[in-house]
Structure 1
Amino acid sequence: MKPTPTVLVAALALATTACGAPAEPPPPAPHGYVAGAEESAEAQSRLVVADATTGGVRVLDLLTEEVVELAPVPGIRAISTDGRHAYLSGDRGTHVVDSGSWMVDHGDHVHYYRAEIRDAGDLAGAAVAAHGDPKVSAVSTRDGAAVLLDRTALDAGTARPTGEVPVAPGTAVVPYEAHLIAAGADGTVRVLDRSGKPTATVEPPCPEPEGTALTRRGVVFGCADGALLVAEDDDAFHGEKIPYPRAVGAGERARDFQQRPGSSTLAARAGDRGTWSLDVGDRAWTYAETGPAVAVNAVGEGGPLLALTADGVLHAHDPETGEQTAQTRVTARPVDPAGPLPVILVDTSRAYVNDVATGTVHEIDYNDSLRQARRFELGGQATHVVETGR
């Protein structure tokens, strides 16, 4: 008996199903999606805290106040960050920690992420500074070189070097506008592609370069005659010198810039007499009579210039006049200028100051007369601290 048309249709449908119907394409990933990470509406700030005595490494989540203990790193001497990863310089080179907290700035909006905290490998050399973009992280070392790391591999948990760039000691290589900006010991500032190949030279030169910062206005290098701002316009890089407002000797020049991440206001110690504030947007230096500060930083955008003096007192100064506006004690005892020095870390609403000897980190509301908002007692020593997620 011949099959009826109905039976033929049913058989065809069954055969099609058995062979597998064409799969529906997966829905497109939402804007900003990152595999393995949770996106949040606010910054997921964390502090990476290292104890130079024991080698202990802790990550403090500033939202939940949870602390994660990581494997110790022997002989920690310095710590730096590219905004997500912490680079701990120790006896065996540099150990990399993925703090699991970072942001992606698209200019008109920002994405904040959190993920698992984990170790991300080791590097040769002693890291002293780090800067990164979505494609590369440049880790500058004490011996005058910067190691370039594949950022995709690094974010996945592997520190994989892709090249090396020579750099003047005391400065850093900075990824900027899909290129790298680096100052040589001879004062020549070069533009390189992400593989480290030179593509251009920036004028004017920067004599005796020392100190580097990345701002929204461009990359800043400290020079013997002021600061050099390197910016990009229509795919061309150009330099602009910001001279000191008066004659400045070698012992008083700015050598180590500190800032709120991305801010265009920088702070630097001015020898043992005061502190410099550099407003990159206005191309203006301000000198504050802070006395011998052991740590400084700048809030930016009209916020105060912060200076910690050796007596353990934190001072706020007007960034335009240099006049003191507030002060508060933050360390239990005076700071030993010969020992590990504390730092002042600044984000959009708070500052963090570490008391090295007691293992305590103080959270300061710099918009409220330096009110102490929280205190984190981590134990041991809080020798080196960086903030990630900004």
Structure 2
Amino acid sequence: MSLTRAVAAVGAAGVVAVSAAGCGVAEPAPPTRADTPHGYVEGAEETAEAQSRLVVADRETGAIRVLDLITGQVTEVGRANGVRGVLGDGRFAYLAEETGTEETGAEETGAGEAGAVRVVDSGAWMVDHTDHVHYYRAAIREVGSVTGGRPTGVHSDPALTAISFDDGTVHLLDRAQLDAGTVVRTGTVSGAAPEGSAVPWREHLLVPAARADRSADAVEVRDRQGQLLSTLDPSCPRSRGSAVTRRGVVFGCADGALLVTEQDGGFHAEKIPYPRPVPESERAVAFAHRPGSTTLAARAGDRGVWSLDVTSRSWTHLETGPVVAVTAVGAGAPLLALTADGALHAYDTATGTRTARTPLLAAPVAESAPVLPVIQVDSARAYVNDVATGTVHEIDYTDNLRQARVFQVGGKASYLVETGR
């Protein structure tokens, strides 16, 4: 993730049903194949609008909370052991646990052991059929855990979830089983780039693989079980970061970005080189964007930020100075950046001009702090967490960064990821 996140699944999700038996009314039978409405998901409620939620984790206490952005209600989910980060895929939150011994009921995945990733179902997601979208809501619940080191990325499609770890392994989970509330690992891929992130896409798995000579790193095409099918050219040296867009999958490389698209039933890769030689300290290593959009943003060391337009295959460098968080809203929309003084800024990527600024955080943020705030963005709003105060700011980025709402989630808002978008 970046942490990135936007592909949702079409599996089953559990909700708490209210029995009418005490009133002498029979519950309706589930739809049959003949009368099942298009987009139907068993056990979930379909809604007319996005059911956006925020999963928030407290680094100090491990408390996990889910904030419903429709109702404003905060739901306590549980506690993680030594939580050190969170990733999302549009529905589920994946919390990195540094240590822990609690049992979670997922014995086959090493639940509760040191270095686990705890999976929380936010109960909000969308299914994108390209020409239309379905929105769903269901119960919020913990699902289980997966043993691993430090997670570097999570991506999902309707059939598969891939969790990448910094030891070069990728754990593959059955997405339908995950939707149903069970963690079932279907395979493991080794030899991936330690800072890369594998992506399930177009009924295959794209894996940035590490070679002995890191300048020869390449993206591999594998099947759903993780078996190697082919290797794409050109290479992607020292791969770090990935993102899924409507134009294809983007992988960050030392010399730019590698865009993977589907052409004539196969996969095609092309390099989007940096406009100039870029030192390692200024390369894009983590992409952030509105899910599905074709404009990406990344920090560019202390000098500024990168904007990558996937449609035009071009990079733009914005001289913003150092920032602690950045994200892209989309084509023709502002790029958002948070600076260490706690102010949020909007930039026009075409001109590099700052178009708005608003102070947000209660105190400045040290760039060396163990936890930095993030910017999560959807089609209407942006959300910024004030780590120390437990406050989440909702920003209307179309109205000069107007602060629309402020949420108090309790404890500290150390880590944040949005779902349901």
Instruction: Provide TM-score, normalisation by structure 2.
Output: 0.85
What SS does structure 1 have at the residue aligned with 2:178? helix
**Structure 2 residue aligned with 1:107:** 130
What SS does structure 1 have at the residue aligned with 2:176? helix
**Structure 1 residue aligned with 2:95:** 88
Amino acid at match of 1:78: G
Show the 5 A alignment for 1:230-249.
230-249=260-279
**Structure 2 residue aligned with 1:190:** 220
**Structure 2 residue aligned with 1:257:** 287
Q: Please tell me whether the aligned partners of residues 78 and 128 of structure 1 are also in contact (alpha carbons under 8 angstroms).
A: no
2:143, 2:152 → 1: CA distance? Answer: 18
Question: 1:28 offset after TM fit, Å?
Answer: 2.4
**Structure 1 residue aligned with 2:174:** 150
Consecutive unaligned residues of structure 2, counting only runs of 5 or more, are 1-31, 101-115, 212-216
What SS does structure 1 have at the residue aligned with 2:163? strand
**Structure 2 residue aligned with 1:172:** 197
What SS does structure 2 have at the residue aligned with 1:113? strand
Q: Please tell me whether the aligned partners of residues 298 and 307 of structure 2 are also in contact (alpha carbons under 8 angstroms).
A: yes
Amino acid at match of 1:99: S
2:260, 2:351 → 1: CA distance? Answer: 27
1:175, 1:41 → 2: CA distance? Answer: 28
Q: What is the aligned counterpart of 1:204 among 207, 210, 234?
A: 234
Q: Please tell me whether the aligned partners of residues 297 and 306 of structure 2 are also in contact (alpha carbons under 8 angstroms).
A: yes
Question: 1:27 offset after TM fit, Å?
Answer: 4.3
Q: What is the aligned counterpart of 1:62 among 66, 69, 81?
A: 69
**Structure 2 residue aligned with 1:306:** 336
What SS does structure 1 have at the residue aligned with 2:341? coil
1:365 pairs with 2:396: yes
Amino acid at match of 2:47: S
**Structure 1 residue aligned with 2:147:** 124
1:273 pairs with 2:297: no
Q: What is the aligned counterpart of 1:287 among 305, 317, 338?
A: 317
Aligned residues: 366
**Structure 1 residue aligned with 2:374:** 343
Question: 1:146 offset after TM fit, Å?
Answer: 1.4
Question: 1:385 offset after TM fit, Å?
Answer: 0.4
**Structure 1 residue aligned with 2:408:** 377
Aligned residues: CA RMSD: 1.1
Consecutive unaligned residues of structure 1, counting only runs of 5 or more, are 1-24
**Structure 1 residue aligned with 2:157:** 133
Question: 1:272 offset after TM fit, Å?
Answer: 0.6
Question: 1:379 offset after TM fit, Å?
Answer: 2.1
Q: Deviations over 1:342-382 (max 9, x none)?
A: 00001001000000000100001000000000000112110
1:27, 1:212 → 2: CA distance? Answer: 40
What SS does structure 1 have at the residue aligned with 2:281? coil
Structure 1 residues 238, 27: closer, same or farther in 2, change over 3 A?
Answer: closer
What SS does structure 2 have at the residue aligned with 1:77? strand
Amino acid at match of 1:158: T
2:347, 2:89 → 1: CA distance? Answer: 28
Q: Please tell me whether the aligned partners of residues 152 and 196 of structure 2 are also in contact (alpha carbons under 8 angstroms).
A: no
Structure 1 segments of 4+ aligned residues over 4 angstroms from their partners: none
What SS does structure 1 have at the residue aligned with 2:72? coil
2:229, 2:184 → 1: CA distance? Answer: 24
2:294, 2:404 → 1: CA distance? Answer: 26
What SS does structure 1 have at the residue aligned with 2:120? strand
Question: 1:26 offset after TM fit, Å?
Answer: 7.0
Show the 5 A alignment for 1:5-84.
27-84=34-91
**Structure 1 residue aligned with 2:103:** none
Higher RCO (CA-CA < 8 Å; seq separation 6+): 2
**Structure 1 residue aligned with 2:28:** none
What SS does structure 2 have at the residue aligned with 1:71? strand
Larger Rg: 1
